[in-house]
């Protein structure tokens, strides 16, 4: 698969957040994903990493491209990079000088780390009152688990998400990507933008707290609310839906389809197209509630009918008649699909070490203030000198002294 026209890096920035500057101290996924989203929307994002290993995900592989992990490359574009040793006093002094130059401070340190370094509420009120400071933690600042670190897989387990994922007779199963981390990053980006809007009214920044735990509980959505309404425990339905039938995957003669029949009129049309109009008159199937109560039998009947169709022909037939259906694709098939190409959801980036590489595109399409990819993910400490001169006006001698002390790389 290739993208025509070479690298897709933009030389201009007219994004919605072009006036804002973000200091990103986060690592792994939730925080970096948030920073990348803000960068895609136009914000100037500066990522600061440890001088030794950098972001943990730099080592998460294979795969690697010229020694750079695909994982890191996937969540750190549109950022310039610094490397500072915060264990040294001089490193903390650099951070103290940098923070007031930014609109947003983003971190996912263990609870209390910034306060331990001296950056508590009083410090921000005195030195950086307009800065929006977003902390992403595992469990938030309250509750018996507040001091624990957060890991996506653990939160999927603890929140109940795993208990509702997987085959009906199988074991609880995690989602195929780190969905809690990703959703937490999105929540954080939303909260940060809301806080920036509020700053126009108040003139002040504020502390924003987003936790993996809260996000994971919120992701229970309709399943969680169904439990609250009834007190009943939720179960696993494989690819099925707890309150809609038929709404699952089926095998055709040459592959699998996903079928989502959302109302009774659609079911009536489906029955007709599958040459079983009598289904729509059967009291066990004529309403969605009845179909939910007879889930196994409905699925069995549909499975026996669709196995005689090719997936391409059945998808065409059902779509022509307004019934939601799609191919069950592999990742390769999805990324090579015509819709993916037309939406520019695979992009090519030029990197100083790798050359050109491909990455997922931007889902945020905006007309007047377009999102853009302007920078490749940084090498460790790639822009440290450049940024210290730009933001703090440090001299070459001062920078060299910091290098000699191993405060920066």
**In CATH, what number is assigned to the domain containing residue 57?**
3.40.50.10540
Same domain, yes or no, for 164 and 88? yes
Per-residue pLDDT at 141? 93
Burial 94-113 (b: 16+ CB within 10 A, else e): bbeebbeebbbbbbbbebee
pLDDT, tens only, 373-390: 999 999 999 999 999 999
Residue 53 inside a domain? The answer is yes
Q: Which residue has the tokens 């060299």?
A: 400
Domain carrying residue 130: 21-219+347-404
Mean model confidence pLDDT for the chain: 95
For residue 169, what are its two tokens?
């007779």
Same domain, yes or no, for 38 and 176? yes
Residue 285 inside a domain? The answer is yes
For residue 183, name the pLDDT band (cuts at 50, 70, 90): very high
Per-residue pLDDT at 1? 37
Asked if the model's pLDDT at residue 277 lies above 80, the reply is yes
On the CB side of 109, how many CA atoms lie within 13 Å of its CA?
19
pTM score of the predicted model? 0.92
Q: Which of 274, 304, 334 is the last residue of a domain?
A: 334
Residue 292 inside a domain? The answer is yes
Residue 272: CATH number of its domain = 3.30.1540.10
Give the C-alpha separation, 26 to 106, whole Å: 6
Give the C-alpha separation, 65 to 72, whole Å: 11
Q: Which of 308, 334, 360 is the last residue of a domain?
A: 334
Burial 339-351 (b: 16+ CB within 10 A, else e): ebeeeeebbbbeb
Query: Looking at the annotation, which residues are catalytic?
Result: 181
Structural domain total, the chain: 2
Per-residue pLDDT at 3? 37
Q: Which of 296, 313, 334 is the last residue of a domain?
A: 334
Partners of 250 in beta bridges: 257
Same domain, yes or no, for 270 and 385? no
Same domain, yes or no, for 33 and 140? yes
Give the C-alpha separation, 127 to 300, whole Å: 66
Same domain, yes or no, for 353 and 320? no
Per-residue pLDDT at 6? 64
For residue 169, name the pLDDT band (cuts at 50, 70, 90): confident
pLDDT, tens only, 106-160: 999 999 999 999 999 999 999 999 999 999 999 999 999 999 999 999 999 999 9
Same domain, yes or no, for 281 and 214? no
For residue 110, what are its two tokens?
């263990």
Q: Which residue has the tokens 């209390």?
A: 112
Q: Could you tell me where the DSSP H helices lie in 10-136?
A: 30-40, 70-73, 89-98, 113-116, 121-127
Region 89-116: what's the mean pLDDT? 96
């Amino acid at each position: 698969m290739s993208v025509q026209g070479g690298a897709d890096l933009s030389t201009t920035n007219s994004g919605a957040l072009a006036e804002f500057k973000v200091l990103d101290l986060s690592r792994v996924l939730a925080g970096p994903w948030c920073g990348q989203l803000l960068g895609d929307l136009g914000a100037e994002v500066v990522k600061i990493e440890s001088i030794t290993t950098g972001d943990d995900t730099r080592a998460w592989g294979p795969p690697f491209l010229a020694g750079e992990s695909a994982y890191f490359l996937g969540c750190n574009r549109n950022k310039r990079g610094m490397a500072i040793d915060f264990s040294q006093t001089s490193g903390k002094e650099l951070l103290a000088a940098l923070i007031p130059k930014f609109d947003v401070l983003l971190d996912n340190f263990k609870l209390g780390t910034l306060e331990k370094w001296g950056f508590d509420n009083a410090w921000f009120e005195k030195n950086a009152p307009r800065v929006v400071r977003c902390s992403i933690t595992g469990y938030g600042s309250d509750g018996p688990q507040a001091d624990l670190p957060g890991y996506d897989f653990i939160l999927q387990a603890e929140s109940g998400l795993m208990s509702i994922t997987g085959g009906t007779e199988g074991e609880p199963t995690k989602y195929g990507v780190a969905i809690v981390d990703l959703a937490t990053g999105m929540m954080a980006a939303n909260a940060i933008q809301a806080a920036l809007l509020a700053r126009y009214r108040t003139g002040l920044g504020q502390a924003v707290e987003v936790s993996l735990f809260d996000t994971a509980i919120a992701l229970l959505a309709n399943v969680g609310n169904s439990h609250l309404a009834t007190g009943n425990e939720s179960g696993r339905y494989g690819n099925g839906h707890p309150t809609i039938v038929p709404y699952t995957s089926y095998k055709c003669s040459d592959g699998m389809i996903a079928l989502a029949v959302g109302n009774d009129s659609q079911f009536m049309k489906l029955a007709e197209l599958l040459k079983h109009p009598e289904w729509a008159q059967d009291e066990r199937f004529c309403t969605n509630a009845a179909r939910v109560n007879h889930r196994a039998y409905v699925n069995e009947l549909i499975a026996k009918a669709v196995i005689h169709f090719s997936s391409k022909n059945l998808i065409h037939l059902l779509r022509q008649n307004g019934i939601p259906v799609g191919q069950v694709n592999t990742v390769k098939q999805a990324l090579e699909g015509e819709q993916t190409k037309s939406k520019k959801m695979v992009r090519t980036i030029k990197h100083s070490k790798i050359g050109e590489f491909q990455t997922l595109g931007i889902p945020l399409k905006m007309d007047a203030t377009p999102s853009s990819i302007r920078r490749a993910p940084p090498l460790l400490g790639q822009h440290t000198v450049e940024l210290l001169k730009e933001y703090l006006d440090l001299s070459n001698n001062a920078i060299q002294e910091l290098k000699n002390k191993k405060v920066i790389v």
